[in-house]
Chains A and B, each alone.
Chain A
Amino acid sequence: MTTMTMAKALNAGLRRAMERERRVVLFGEDIGRLGGVFRVTDGLQKDFGEHRVIDAPLAESGIVGTSVGMAMRGFRPVVEIQFDGFVYPAFDQIVSQVAKTLRRTDGAVRMPLVIRIPYGGGIGAVEHHSESPEAYFVHTAGLRVLTPSDPQAAYLTIQQAIASDDPVIYLEPKRRYWDKGEVDLDADPFALSPWHARVLRPGDDVTVACYGPMVRTCLEAAEAADCSVEVIDLQSLSPLDIDVVAASVRRTGHLVVVHEASSTAGLGAEVAARVSEECFYSLEAPVLRVTGYDVPYPASRLEEHFLPDLDRVLDGVDRVRAF
């Protein structure tokens, strides 16, 4: 076990994936000499060369579009989008080409791309640097969506994402990049499937489902709660592992879904709908969502009010129990 930040764990995972498969290439803005604006690719260009860690022009649609071509040619491009708010120029390529090529070629052409996107707020950033775009991608058939919540999960899931023959939108919770955790660098990344939710803390009274940056917040809230809270890290947003959530809700009868993204048509809505389909008769209360409001991400001085925090999670827990 080694203690390291999530940024370092991702770096180690990328390194392992590149050692394992020579057709893995990293592609993105400022990822080479600078090592990425969050230093996730630090040192990789030096060790693997400029032909495998490629500094791209400043053009997101271009980066993803050319990665589609490279994938057709048998490479496994791992794209870095610098910030969440900058992925939208590439949205057309992702939705129209990355997601649909396998289907349109009747399975002949796979798109083993990974598109890494630092996402979420909480870092005092300026406009367009704190967004949570996951629902757009989850809504798009043909894309898989993963988001790690701690360094060990990051180390393993980035390798699994790269090994997947499907395109993976890999959302990195940027406010957790510098959180440290124990990482077993010898762990076999293929021992467990990444496409599952994880019960991180068992509990009996209320189930709290969350992912990415909110996982730490929810674990802290569970610790502070005056009832027994089960915390589930969804981890795989597409496919969504509803079975683990439903099994928990069958015991607790109460579910709170927590995410930073706005509530309307977000992951919370999907989880609520699926749980009501799966285990309606176990629900002692409606599924509650504790989320960002339906507003553009606010100026950073207000983000504390926008982002669900320990108090808001506990308020949700209180309300779902009082129902």
Chain B
Amino acid sequence: MVDGMLGSAVQLLTPEGERVADEDYDISLSNAELKGLYRDMVLVRRLDSEATALQRQGELGLWASSLGQEAAQVGSGRSLLPGDYAFPTYRDHGVTWSRGVPPLEVLAMFRGVSTGGWDPIALRCAIYTIVIGNQALHAVGYGMGAQLDGSSEAVIGYFGDGATDEGDVNEAFVFAADFNAPVVFFCQNNQWAISSPRERKNPAPLYERAAGFGFPGVRVDGNDILAVMAVTRAALERARSGGGPTLVEAYTYRMAAHTTSDDPTRYRHAEELEIWRLRDPIERLKVFLARQGIADRGYFDQIDREAADLAVMIRDGVRSMPEPPAETMFDHVYAEPHEQLERQRRWLVDYESSFTHEVSS
């Protein structure tokens, strides 16, 4: 069934690394760009595996793995122009990577030293939204604002297949259509909303929903980074040129648990994982690069070393993140002075400084 569903998706690079044509979409990238995409995906995967290990070692409270979704995230993220704006979910580490968010700033929230992590204005990438689907409306509203300003920016709103159940996402579709907002809805259908299997519960293709709301929808092989870029670029260009919203359904698979707190062996079979391992987004690009003579072993080894260095940087960086002083919890609750909160801050500082030492028990 998975294969059958994938059949309707735009594909430019097969799982075996064969370049194929699509009647509606194509893309032309330089060798440097292609190698860059490979590097991005390898480094994002290393970031992800290091973060997973750090959680298992008690250094992070939680981690939501992006394993297997690198092509969908990097491919769409790298399609954005510098002036565009992204609204990611908590799993979109390939998107934040593409927007230039430093990995340690992404990890800060999962370590619990920050409630956000980075400057969304400077990086033109919103902080991770945790409550499912909320950000879809924000993306539409941001796009409406850009439109009112007469700007030609495009906005991309990310969410998963599970989020399409939520009222917020459906309302976002309505608003985007009504206001012809310059927004791309980028839905990564990774098949599993925690334990809820998308297609076993509702086999109607997600991308087809767009038609009912009055804008186009397209399904793309989410593990094919070339197809993802081709489709996303077209949708972004359509948004910038006043064509309105597009729903892109990137058909992919969540290779890891929902988060480090989850246990997928309770609800899905290992054989499903094996099928998708054969469709790995990094392997197919690597095969393509090697077969086309664009990159050689030396290049791949160099990227592996970069990944190892990144892992060390992340490990050391996470473990040496400064502890935020307790009273910083009072910062930025309000933009304007708030005397009640200031009193509580003073109380906390006085109270905590009234202790000298731990009493061994």
Q: Is there a chain A Cβ closer than 8 Å to B179's Cβ? A: no
Interface pair A305/B340, CB less than 8 Å apart:
no
- Rounded to whole Å, the gap between the CB of A189 and the closest CB of chain B is 29
Interface pair B62/A126, CB less than 8 Å apart:
yes
Q: Is there a chain B Cβ closer than 8 Å to A192's Cβ? A: no
Interface pair A305/B348, CB less than 8 Å apart:
yes
Most chain B beta-carbon contacts within 10 A, residue among A62, A85, A127, A264: A127
When distances are taken between beta carbons in the complex, the residues of chain B under 8 Å from A37 are 194, 261-262
- Rounded to whole Å, the gap between the CB of B300 and the closest CB of chain A is 34
- Rounded to whole Å, the gap between the CB of A53 and the closest CB of chain B is 12
When distances are taken between beta carbons in the complex, the residues of chain A under 8 Å from B61 are 124-126, 300
- Rounded to whole Å, the gap between the CB of B93 and the closest CB of chain A is 14
Most chain A beta-carbon contacts within 10 A, residue among B132, B348, B352: B132
Task: Specify the chain B residue showing the minimal Cβ separation from A55.
Answer: B196
Q: Is there a chain A Cβ closer than 8 Å to B152's Cβ? A: no
In residues 41-74 of chain A, which contact B (Cβ within 8 Å)?
Answer: 55, 57-62
Q: Is there a chain B Cβ closer than 8 Å to A322's Cβ? A: no
Interface pair B132/A55, CB less than 8 Å apart:
no
Q: B329 touches which one: A29, A124, A129, A293 (CB < 8 A)?
A: A293
Question: How far, in angstroms, from A302 to B329 measured CA to CA in the complex?
Answer: 7
Chain A 280-312 against B: per-residue CB contact (8 Å), 1 yes, 0 no? Answer: 000000000000011110111111011000011
Interface pair B112/A301, CB less than 8 Å apart:
yes
Interface pair A302/B168, CB less than 8 Å apart:
no
Chain A 123-159 against B: per-residue CB contact (8 Å), 1 yes, 0 no? Answer: 0111111000000000000000000000000000000
Question: How far, in angstroms, from A132 to B261 measured CA to CA in the complex?
Answer: 21
Interface pair B266/A127, CB less than 8 Å apart:
no
Interface pair A293/B330, CB less than 8 Å apart:
yes
Q: B324 touches which one: A89, A127, A301 (CB < 8 A)?
A: A301
Question: How far, in angstroms, from A85 to B329 measured CA to CA in the complex?
Answer: 19
Q: Is there a chain A Cβ closer than 8 Å to B167's Cβ? A: yes
Interface pair A305/B326, CB less than 8 Å apart:
yes
Instruction: Give the contact stretch, choosing among B18-26, B68-76, B80-88, B158-166.
Output: B158-166
Interface pair B166/A89, CB less than 8 Å apart:
yes
Q: Is there a chain A Cβ closer than 8 Å to B111's Cβ? A: yes
In residues 146-187 of chain B, which contact A (Cβ within 8 Å)?
Answer: 162-163, 165-168
Most chain B beta-carbon contacts within 10 A, residue among A55, A61, A88: A55
Task: Specify the chain A residue showing the minimal Cβ separation from B132.
Answer: A58
When distances are taken between beta carbons in the complex, the residues of chain B under 8 Å from A303 are 112
When distances are taken between beta carbons in the complex, the residues of chain A under 8 Å from B348 are 293, 305
Question: How far, in angstroms, from A61 to B165 measured CA to CA in the complex?
Answer: 10
Q: Tell me how many residues of B have a C-beta within 8 Å of chain A.
A: 43
When distances are taken between beta carbons in the complex, the residues of chain A under 8 Å from B352 are 305
Q: Is there a chain B Cβ closer than 8 Å to A201's Cβ? A: no
Interface pair B196/A86, CB less than 8 Å apart:
no
Q: Is there a chain A Cβ closer than 8 Å to B3's Cβ? A: no
- Rounded to whole Å, the gap between the CB of A48 and the closest CB of chain B is 17
Q: Is there a chain A Cβ closer than 8 Å to B308's Cβ? A: no
**A58-B193, A58-B196 are known contacts. Are A85 and B131 too (CB-CB below 8 A)?**
yes
When distances are taken between beta carbons in the complex, the residues of chain B under 8 Å from A296 are 115, 333
When distances are taken between beta carbons in the complex, the residues of chain A under 8 Å from B112 are 124, 126, 299-303
Q: Is there a chain B Cβ closer than 8 Å to A225's Cβ? A: no
Question: How far, in angstroms, from A35 to B167 measured CA to CA in the complex?
Answer: 25
When distances are taken between beta carbons in the complex, the residues of chain A under 8 Å from B330 are 293, 295
Interface pair B167/A89, CB less than 8 Å apart:
yes
Interface pair B267/A34, CB less than 8 Å apart:
yes
Interface pair B130/A30, CB less than 8 Å apart:
no
Interface pair A295/B130, CB less than 8 Å apart:
no
Interface pair A33/B333, CB less than 8 Å apart:
no
Interface pair A58/B113, CB less than 8 Å apart:
no
Interface pair A86/B132, CB less than 8 Å apart:
yes
**A293-B329, A299-B113 are known contacts. Are A59 and B165 too (CB-CB below 8 A)?**
yes
Q: B110 touches which one: A62, A126, A311 (CB < 8 A)?
A: A126
Question: How far, in angstroms, from A129 to B112 measured CA to CA in the complex?
Answer: 12
Q: A302 touches which one: B131, B262, B328 (CB < 8 A)?
A: B328
In residues 271-321 of chain B, which contact A (Cβ within 8 Å)?
Answer: none
Q: Is there a chain A Cβ closer than 8 Å to B49's Cβ? A: no
When distances are taken between beta carbons in the complex, the residues of chain B under 8 Å from A86 are 131-132
Q: Is there a chain B Cβ closer than 8 Å to A32's Cβ? A: yes
Task: Specify the chain A residue showing the minimal Cβ separation from B196.
Answer: A55
Interface pair A34/B163, CB less than 8 Å apart:
no
Q: Is there a chain A Cβ closer than 8 Å to B114's Cβ? A: yes
Q: Is there a chain B Cβ closer than 8 Å to A315's Cβ? A: yes
When distances are taken between beta carbons in the complex, the residues of chain A under 8 Å from B194 are 29-30, 34, 37
Q: Is there a chain A Cβ closer than 8 Å to B241's Cβ? A: no
27 A-B pairs (CB sep. < 8 Å): A34-B266, A58-B162, A58-B165, A58-B196, A59-B166, A61-B167, A86-B132, A88-B131, A89-B131, A89-B168, A124-B61, A125-B61, A126-B90, A127-B115, A127-B130, A129-B130, A293-B341, A293-B344, A294-B344, A298-B329, A299-B109, A299-B112, A299-B329, A301-B112, A302-B324, A302-B329, A305-B352
Binding site for A on B (CB under 8 A): 61-62, 90, 109-115, 130-132, 162-163, 165-168, 193-196, 201, 261-263, 266-267, 323-324, 326, 328-330, 333, 340-341, 344, 348, 351-352, 355
Question: Closest 3 CB pairs between A and B?
Answer: A300-B112, A305-B326, A34-B195
